[in-house]
Amino acid sequence: MLFNSVIFITIFLPFVLTGWYLLQRLENPAYGKVFLIGCSLFFYGYYNVSYLWILVVSLLWNYCVSEGFALLGKTPSEMGAQTPQASGGRSLRNRRFLLILGLSGNLGLLFYFKYFNFFIENCNWLLHTQIQIEEIALPLGISFFTFQQISFLVERYRGKAPRYAFLDYGCFITFFPQLVAGPIVLHDEFIPQLQGRLVRRPRADLFYRGVSLFILGLAKKVLLADVLGILVNAEFDNIAYLDCPSAWLTIVCYMLELYFDFSGYSDMARGLGRLFGFELPENFRSPLMAVSVKDFWRRWHLTLSRFLSAYIYIPLGGNRKGKGRQCLNLFLVFLASGIWHGADWTFIVWGLMHGLACIWETLFPRLRFKKDWANRIVTGLFVTLSFSIFRSDSLESAFLLWRKLFAGGMNGMLLGMCNVLQIPETYALRKLLEWKFPQALNAFFVICTALLLGISIRLVSGKRAEEWLEKKGQKPVGILLLATLFVWSLVSLSQVSTFLYFNF
């Protein structure tokens, strides 16, 4: 089920909210938790019921493994030890074996569904074999809920996560706002809230902030990302016909589309969390205003960056073992990031580009402009170019696109690209121009495209959604704007599109 659908907004969400808070009035909180898990599983299975067993098996496997740590005795933190080594050699070996077993299950599941065919294709190419490629559908959100459970297992091994009841753990993993595209939530960010009393009674201020944030996220998705996607999808399907200006417009539009799509989802997820009484972690912090590639990753997909830092970069030594080791660690982290995003060489090359850029900034920190605006332009240019590879269907398509960017000439394709932007909001005016002033149609489409770009760039360089809500969201003008955006977005839901990060 999609957040940006009429059935979710008008039926599913009101039903789940009503049931959740009615059941919270009972003395036993277990009823509400069972209800929330059931609704979350329905939400997940609604998209494709065949995916549901994968989520359930993954959840049960990881919970059983986490319970295994409890069967081995007290955790090191409960025994007053600082590390697992302090609890004895045999216990340490058992705990390590259990951790390896748990991680193997998670990574094996992820490898089979996401990377098996990619692995076979490359084996066939490298070894000249003819191994049959299987038809394997990618389960929705598998990267997100797998990483979330890996994090929990590692924390259980380290003795930094307590033993939780199954219903608490089930709510933590399946909570539908963050289930399929994040943010990647840690156990200590969610379960203590679930166990507390705050979620058992709706709060007007939290409820209003949740609704407002959801509306802003919905508007980002429906009114900006989906409209930009009209241009992007049309041109990425016709790269061979692009010229230099249209190629640049295409990759800029894609970068904006991806940002509004994913940050819109994250805003909606956090808004929904607040409706149920939960604060979910922030996932974006004005990333397109970054002054370096490192700064970009401190602002973009924050919960993934946090995961990769905590469970790959820091265990490898981080920046504690000299520049050379730090550069190797950065390289490995961004290689993992590229692989996480998808089973294709385009994602790997994209990840390595960002890794090499971060290595360059580590080795030559003073090779920067003195003005932040100049650094923002250079960083934005690099990020936009790298994400053009991220979007391409293959490395061949990416190389062709880059040739168009730097040696594509001019053939008037830019005007044709603008004419693709035919949205319902401009239908009446378009028909009027076709009838009375057909010679003005081209100029009209150029103006519409320029307005779309101008609004998008202004929004990515302005205040974050929550900053705007704090300052203007509760004033009459802000409330009127939110109501207008909601109605406009709801009317525009006739053509519902999935979120881009569902593919990852």
Number of helices and strands in the chain (H, E): 24, 0
The alpha carbon of 7 is separated from its chain's Cα centroid by a whole number of angstroms, namely 23
Helices (H), 196-321: 204-219, 226-236, 244-275, 293-297, 302-308
The verdict on whether 341 is a catalytic residue reads yes
**Closest-CA residue to 1 (of 124, 136, 140, 115):** 140
Go through the chain and tell me how many residues it has: 504
What is the C-alpha separation between 153 and 102, in angstroms, rounded? 7
Catalytic residue of the set 128, 187, 301, 341? 341
- In Å, the largest CA–CA distance within the chain is 86
84 cis-preceded (ω within 30 degrees of 0): no
Q: Cα–Cα distances in Å, from 276 out to 192, 211, 212, 263, 279? A: 14, 11, 14, 20, 9
C-alpha dihedral (157, 161, 163, 168), degrees to nearest 10: -130
What is the C-alpha separation between 471 and 212, in angstroms, rounded? 13
Characterise 10 by phi-psi region: left (phi > 0), alpha (psi -120 to 50), beta (else): alpha
Burial of 356 (0-12, 13-18, 19+ CB in 10 A): middle
Catalytic residue set: 341
